[in-house]
């Protein structure tokens, strides 16, 4: 969004065209993502047997990867898996960057102003160790970890 440019008449105080164009950009992105979600839900429901979605099934938690391996071959499926891992890795790095920016800024609001929160490298190690600890505690089970991060979604 910072790259969206306005017209010559836009000012810092009233960036009218920039706001309008940013709204168009976000709406377009939301429509595209919604379309992808609806299409993938529909396609996976039609092409994957119901038993494969159950716990222990090959499509449990990885429906599109299952389809990639099943219909497009193991080479394409492996490339799809590698691309998914890369995307998740970059998402994790982005989340880490966000945490490193938020920690020193918001801890003082809660009466905590530790000097160690400004040390970036130790905080990266702490967050990485917490991630590994959560993965180890839940035996790398994606469903169990999802329950840990979203307690309202625990399944019985």
Q: pTM (2 decimals)?
A: 0.65
Is residue 54 in a domain?
no
pLDDT digits (tens, 9 = 90+) for 37-75: 999 999 999 999 999 988 888 998 889 999 999 999 999
Same domain, 108 and 144: no
Neighbours of 117 (CB within 10 A): 19
Same domain, 95 and 131: no
Range of the domain at 9: 1-47
Helix runs in the chain, H state only: 16-47, 50-53, 63-106, 120-137, 142-149
The total number of structural domains that make up the chain: 3
Same domain, 35 and 21: yes
Which residues lie closer than 8 Å to 42 by C-beta, 6 or more apart? none
Same domain, 108 and 145: no
């Amino acid at each position: 969004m910072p790259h969206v440019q306005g017209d010559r008449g836009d000012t810092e105080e009233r960036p009218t065209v920039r706001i309008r164009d940013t709204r168009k950009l976000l709406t377009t992105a939301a429509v595209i993502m919604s379309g992808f979600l609806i299409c993938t839900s529909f396609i996976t429901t039609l092409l994957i047997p119901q038993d494969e979605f159950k716990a222990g099934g090959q499509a449990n938690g990885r429906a599109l990867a299952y389809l990639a391996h099943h219909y497009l071959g193991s080479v394409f499926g492996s490339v799809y898996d590698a691309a998914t891992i890369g995307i998740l890795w970059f998402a994790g790095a982005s989340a880490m960057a966000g945490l490193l920016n938020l920690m020193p800024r918001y801890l003082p609001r809660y009466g905590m102003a530790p000097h160690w929160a400004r040390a970036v490298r130790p905080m990266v190690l702490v967050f990485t160790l917490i991630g590994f600890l959560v993965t180890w505690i839940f035996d790398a089970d994606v469903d169990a970890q999802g329950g840990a991060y979203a307690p309202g979604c625990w399944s019985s």
